[in-house]
Amino acid sequence: MKRKLLSVMLIAAMTAALTACGGSSSSSSSSTEEASSEAAEESTDEGEEASAEATGQKIGISMPTQSLERWNRDGAYLDEQFQNAGFETVLTYSDNDSGQQVNDIQNMLADNVDLLIVAAIDGEALNTAMNEAAEAGVPVIAYDRLIMNDAVSYYVSFDNYTVGTLQGQFIVETLDLDNAGDTVYNMEITAGDPADNNAGYFYQGAIDVLQPYMDAGTLNVVSGQTDFDTVATDQWSTDTALERAQNVLSSYYADGTQLDVWLCSNDSTALGVAQAVTSDYAGSNTVIITGQDGDEANLKNIVDGVQTMTVYKNVSNESIVTLSLAQAMLAGETIDESLIPSFGIDCAFDTESYETSDGNKCPSFLLVPSVITADNLQELVDTGLYEMGEDGYLSAVQ
């Protein structure tokens, strides 16, 4: 725990200015990305079939983008969960554009939503909308990504630091680094979007596990590119990750140097790195590539042996926890760990790890991530959220 707190402090220093916890809303059925309104309509239809008695309350759900696979799932699950529980919903995707996300949230507030659920594009760029939510008395749940504004009441996410430690531990165990002797393994690192508060946690969780091996020379980052800002990937872009990986491979590995492992914070970046390794790496060994999310293309790469693992986060469960929390908030119930049994989902109530502004802790419900490899893909099928085709590849159940 001390180590975790220390890391959190390091991240705070690293990302310089932590602002505050915030929220705001307004509703409309529009979306800034075409497919989102379709997703919303589909969910609406399903919701109407199974709808509970109408609450007369409206929920604004602001998602970052449809260009990254998981948010399509999050948006659809949240929309469906809330509608099935009798809420009216407004679902928007903001095309990875913070200004657009502020507008979308302002529209939700103008539409008199009763509560906002926001997965921020940039955790430090929503102050205008968050302050307006606070003024309007509309509570905000920061969903998956923390918002640096004190208008945020609660945070629902997975244990982001643990996501990184799972990736680091996987590398340690797979290469058996504790028994490496004089063997040196070469590694490269790709992290996430600096605007996303989670990205530093993923990176630091992994680095805290791997640093002793880097210090001992057992792991060698041949490019020398290790600090977060150097290895970060704006907007978690697959193309950006691909381009940097190609540059690293041509600059440092074209002479036949063996690459053993590429730590990638998530699946969208792992997709780009895997593509670069497949096309531009001269060696014939299998490069260990980590990831996070369980995106379909990455699961295919895992089956094909091109990616080695992903840290899976069940976002359907994340939406269920969010619904239960929102219901408790709107009912004026006490919000603490006593709610967790009613979720029926493994998670922790954490009042220490996250701050929306300096010293202002944000009570958080943190779900538990797990490691998926080619050997336990069945666990994904068992969630009921994926199915395995005859070709052995997994696809999300629509």
Contacts with ligand BGC, residue ranges (CB under 6 A): 68, 70, 144-145, 196, 198, 236, 266, 268, 292-293, 313
As measured in angstroms, the least distance from the Cβ of 163 to ligand BGC is 8
As measured in angstroms, the least distance from the Cβ of 110 to ligand BGC is 27
- Rounded distance between C-alpha atoms, residue 158 and residue 314, angstroms: 9
Sign of CA dihedral 193, 195, 200, 201: negative
As measured in angstroms, the least distance from the Cβ of 268 to ligand BGC is 6
- Rounded distance between C-alpha atoms, residue 212 and residue 183, angstroms: 15
150 versus 318: smaller Cβ distance to ligand BGC: 318
- Rounded distance between C-alpha atoms, residue 363 and residue 344, angstroms: 19
81 versus 292: smaller Cβ distance to ligand BGC: 292
249 versus 309: smaller Cβ distance to ligand BGC: 309
As measured in angstroms, the least distance from the Cβ of 262 to ligand BGC is 16
As measured in angstroms, the least distance from the Cβ of 330 to ligand BGC is 25
> Torsion angle of alpha carbons 346, 76, 142, 29, nearest 10°?
-150
DSSP states of 181-244? TT--EEEEEE---TTSHHHHHHHHHHHHHHHHHHHTTSEEETT---SHHHH--GGG-HHHHHHH
115 versus 199: smaller Cβ distance to ligand BGC: 199
- Rounded distance between C-alpha atoms, residue 206 and residue 290, angstroms: 11
Angle among Cα 350, 354, 357 to the nearest 5 degrees reads: 140
Q: Which residue is nearest to ligand BGC (CB)?
A: 266
> Which tokens sit at 50?
């199974």
170 versus 281: smaller Cβ distance to ligand BGC: 170
- Rounded distance between C-alpha atoms, residue 194 and residue 69, angstroms: 19
As measured in angstroms, the least distance from the Cβ of 200 to ligand BGC is 11
As measured in angstroms, the least distance from the Cβ of 219 to ligand BGC is 24
As measured in angstroms, the least distance from the Cβ of 365 to ligand BGC is 14
Q: For residue 12, how far is the Cα from the chain centroid?
A: 18
Contacting residues for 22 by C-beta, under 8 A, at least 6 apart = 126, 127, 129, 130, 131, 133, 134, 140, 147, 148, 149, 150, 151, 152, 356
Do residues 160 and 198 make contact, with C-beta atoms less than 8 angstroms apart?
A: yes
- Rounded distance between C-alpha atoms, residue 261 and residue 8, angstroms: 25
43 versus 265: smaller Cβ distance to ligand BGC: 265
287 versus 315: smaller Cβ distance to ligand BGC: 315
268 versus 327: smaller Cβ distance to ligand BGC: 268
Do residues 126 and 112 make contact, with C-beta atoms less than 8 angstroms apart?
A: no
Helix, strand or coil, per DSSP, at residue 24: coil
295 versus 355: smaller Cβ distance to ligand BGC: 295
As measured in angstroms, the least distance from the Cβ of 393 to ligand BGC is 20
> Which tokens sit at 353?
């790890």
> Which tokens sit at 391?
């070709």
